[in-house]
Amino acid sequence: MDVIDRANDMSDWLLAKQLAAQTGRSTSGTSRHQCDECAEPIPEARRVALPGVDLVCGLPDPDGEKTLMFNTVFDRTVGHEGRFQAHPDDRGNWTSGQVGKGQLKGTKFGISAMTYPELDIEGLTVERAKAIYWRDWWDRLGMARFRPATQYQLFDAAINHGMHHSTRMLQRAVGVKDDGVIGPHTLAAAQGAELNDLLMAFLAERLNFMTGVRTWAQFGRGWARRIALNLHYATEDNDR
């Protein structure tokens, strides 16, 4: 093994430890020898550090400039979303997106059966969840185009309510047409807005949206606490 191999193994080990530390939880089970997605070998350092690991591709470079805020966002989002739950009154837990229809597969780390009906939700690992968030949400939303403080708020809303709704909240917060499409007018308005005004207006739009959801009476207390915590995060992020 040469110096580069050792460095790569150390990087894999550090990433795996970081993933476990971010949630305060460890995965369990037998680690795979090959990635489920690309069939590439999974380095031994990652297999040892994160029992049950089944993925090596799709993860961002932990030292890359683009991923600095993503790591923070992932940590916070998983903190909001928590462990596996399969509440039968939550439509997101059903593969059809409708209560009582399809399979009740639940939600874990914010990854829901409604959005990913083909996944084994209960068996989802932290590493796979992070790869999904990076590939299907962070990149698809084009988060690199926004200021760091906006990145977190927009991303967290997208995970909670869907990309279309979160985009419309942002558009209403900055006073442009709320068509659910992030185009040049939306980007210019978001970049030009005074940051604190944008964050407060966005969270107001989000809370207003939540109160109109049918299950507000059942889940509203937890949702309101999520907004309260996001207000605290806004005060941390508004100088980034």
CB environment 117-129: b (16+ within 10 A), e (fewer):
eebebeebbbbbb
Structural domains in the chain, sorted by start: 1-67+126-140 (no CATH), 85-123 (no CATH), 141-240 (1.20.141.10)
pLDDT digits (tens, 9 = 90+) for 31-47: 677 766 666 676 665 55
Q: Residue 151: name the closest of 160, 161, 141 by CA.
A: 141
What confidence category does residue 1 fall into, taking pLDDT thresholds of 50, 70 and 90? very low
Provide the β-strand partners of residue 83.
none
pLDDT of amino acid 67: 63
Rounded-to-integer distance, Cα 197 and Cα 208, Å: 16
Rounded-to-integer distance, Cα 154 and Cα 163, Å: 9
pLDDT of amino acid 64: 53
Q: What is the mean pLDDT of the chain?
A: 80
CA–CA–CA angle 105, 84, 101 (5° rounding): 20
Mean pLDDT score, 156-164: 90
pLDDT digits (tens, 9 = 90+) for 57-93: 555 554 455 566 888 888 888 776 668 999 999 999 9
